[in-house]
Structure 1
Amino acid sequence: MDESDGEALAAREWRLIREERWPGPMNMALDEIAAETAAAGGPRTLRVYRWEPSTLSLGYRQDPDTVDWGYCAAEGITVTRRQTGGGGIYHDSHGDISYTIAAPADELPGDLVESYRRLCTPILDAFDRLDVPAAFAETGRPALHDPACYLRELHPAHDVVVPGDDGPRKVSGNAQHRRTDAVVQHGSLTYAVRPERHLAAFADPSVDAATFRERVTGIEDHADVTRTAAVSTVEEALAEWADAAEGSWTEDELARARERANEKYGSDAWTRRRPGDR
């Protein structure tokens, strides 16, 4: 991001909502509410959050038959569906650090790749501060299990990897939902890899834990840092990027988000819908 981009960001009202713990449907509802707030002239939002309980978030068009619903129910893993595409992601309550950036659409590049480059700037900065040698993927690796986001073919626009002698290993996935009036980018940074639980949430993944480990890495594999310290680093990188003030949700936003979570993101009609259903 050049100096003019930084000045443009700082000239607008941004709030940083430090890490909160929410169930999966509420996390997705809050992303939607943040977009509505920004589009209506309210503050742009930077948020960091934890999934409590652990959650499997499905891609917008993902077939529900790819989920092991019995395992998820037995292990207390919530299942919800994102507004963004791609494969499913198991968000471990300890092993995952998630973030969202929401801003009016006319304040961000129309080009998708350029938009990813701009909005991932603070994420790459956070990895740099943590001494994790992460960068956008440059070369693809063949998909191993398409329903699982972290086992799909790497995409240079939004997949962040740690290079290695045996090939790049994914450490962060990022996705955008582009409305006519707002853009929401959210992403997952892996702090600790939980391959057995990640794979078990899917039906017949045909990949073992060792193979998963060859494709995915976490912050704790590269840096001697606690999860708390890693979260603080992500928060500070986001805040400095946009010159954001620490903020919080309004009571109205929380009420709307709870309603949206109950009616939409927590419903079977949304989560278990089949590809092509509206």
Structure 2
Amino acid sequence: MRCRLLIDDAAGSGSWNMAVDEALLESAPSGTDVTLRWYRWQEATVSLGYFQKSGASDRSRFGSLPLVRRLSGGGAILHHHELTYSCTIGPQHPLAADPTQLYGQVHSAIIDVLAGFGVKAAMRGRKIDEVEHLFLCFGRGDSRDVVMDGHKILGSAQRRRRGAILQHGSLLMRKSIYAEEFPGLCDLSGVDVPEDELLAAMASRVGEALTTTVEPGSLTDEERALAVELEEQKYRLLDWSAPRPAVAPDVTAR
């Protein structure tokens, strides 16, 4: 088993980024590789969780920003000054039997890399139930969040389909002018971490945590074609998930 590493050369729109993640999840059940993708956003964008209502009043201050809906659940995320990852594993991967362990594997690897850049972070270790109603994900508190001085700098979520798992997450580098209450790792540490160097180090370390061999790769023709179709027919529509089912066991929250 190897890890196919995808690092997007250009920042993408919200609809494209989410379409590619779903295309990778669709191809995961029939493949034997892990796919690890790192990407950025071409402009500040708000992604709504699968279950969130598009007319939520709490998002009124973001009305001028592009909106997209994620495949995963949880609170809304303001994607701005961040590095974003996704990884997909198929049913044959050892972690597929207990997908919750994937959070720990990925987050621990990122924590180790951050330490090498002089940034001390750790997993929260406990869930904070009283903030689960908040609109923005980074105001919520999961036990597996990566935090610095009590501030969340990394949150992840999963979607499961036909035995395969998609996990994606946002690593907050710096605070955004649109949500100044959420400082990033550079703000909290006082370290001006070079993003390209950090991304390269995390790509290697996370890939090694999931497989024994990490190799650069690219989207297949089939994955790219599916992503184009998904972007046009699904992710350009904000309310593609409606009507939402009362119970969706394959969606886990950020």
CA contact (8 A) 1:59 1:86 kept: yes
Which residue matches 1:6? none
* TM-score calculated relative to the size of structure 2: 0.84
Q: CA deviation at 1:63?
A: 1.5
Long gaps (5+) in structure 1: 1-11, 199-208
Q: CA deviation at 1:73?
A: 5.5
Which residue matches 2:138? 150
Matched residue pairs, number?
A: 241
1:235 maps to 2:203 = yes
Q: Where in structure 2 are the equivalents of 1:130-209 lying within 5 Å?
A: 130-141=117-128, 142-143=130-131, 146-152=134-140, 154-156=141-143, 158-162=144-148, 164=149, 168-194=150-176, 196-198=177-179, 209=180
Q: CA deviation at 1:220?
A: 4.8
Q: CA deviation at 1:274?
A: 6.5
Aligned amino acid, residue 164 of structure 2:
A
Which residue matches 1:22? 12
Q: CA deviation at 1:83?
A: 1.3
Long gaps (5+) in structure 2: 249-254
CA contact (8 A) 1:105 1:178 kept: no
Which residue matches 2:23? 33
Mark the CA change 1:149 to 1:228 in structure 2 (over 3 Å): closer, same or farther. Answer: same
Which residue matches 1:219? 186
CA contact (8 A) 1:64 1:274 kept: no
CA contact (8 A) 1:62 1:274 kept: no
Q: Where in structure 2 are the equivalents of 1:252-267 lying within 5 Å?
A: 252-267=222-237
Q: Which of 127, 132, 153 is residue 114 of structure 2 equivalent to? A: 127
Aligned amino acid, residue 13 of structure 1:
R
**Whose radius of gyration is greater, 1 or 2?**
1
Q: CA deviation at 1:217?
A: 3.5
Mark the CA change 1:234 to 1:275 in structure 2 (over 3 Å): closer, same or farther. Answer: same
Aligned amino acid, residue 191 of structure 1:
M
Q: Deviations over 1:167-204 (max 9, x none)?
A: x111100111122231011000001111x413xxxxxx
- Determine helix, strand or coil for the equivalent of 2:97: coil
* TM-score calculated relative to the size of structure 1: 0.77
Which residue matches 2:252? none
Report the aligned-residue RMSD.
2.5
C-alpha distance in 1, partners of 2:184/2:61?
Answer: 24
C-alpha distance in 1, partners of 2:75/2:55?
Answer: 13
Which residue matches 1:270? 240
Q: CA deviation at 1:45?
A: 0.7
Mark the CA change 1:106 to 1:140 in structure 2 (over 3 Å): closer, same or farther. Answer: same
- Determine helix, strand or coil for the equivalent of 1:51: coil
Q: CA deviation at 1:91?
A: 0.3
CA contact (8 A) 2:59 2:135 kept: no
Aligned amino acid, residue 162 of structure 2:
T
Q: CA deviation at 1:34?
A: 1.1
Could you tell which deviates more after superposition, 140-149 or 54-63?
Answer: 140-149
Q: Which of 4, 13, 33 is residue 2 of structure 2 equivalent to? A: 13
C-alpha distance in 2, partners of 1:274/1:197?
Answer: 30
Q: CA deviation at 1:23?
A: 0.8
C-alpha distance in 2, partners of 1:67/1:234?
Answer: 36
Aligned amino acid, residue 258 of structure 1:
V
Write 1 or 2 for the structure with the bigger share of helix: 1
CA contact (8 A) 2:29 2:162 kept: no
Mark the CA change 1:231 to 1:119 in structure 2 (over 3 Å): closer, same or farther. Answer: closer
1:50 maps to 2:43 = no
C-alpha distance in 2, partners of 1:106/1:148?
Answer: 34
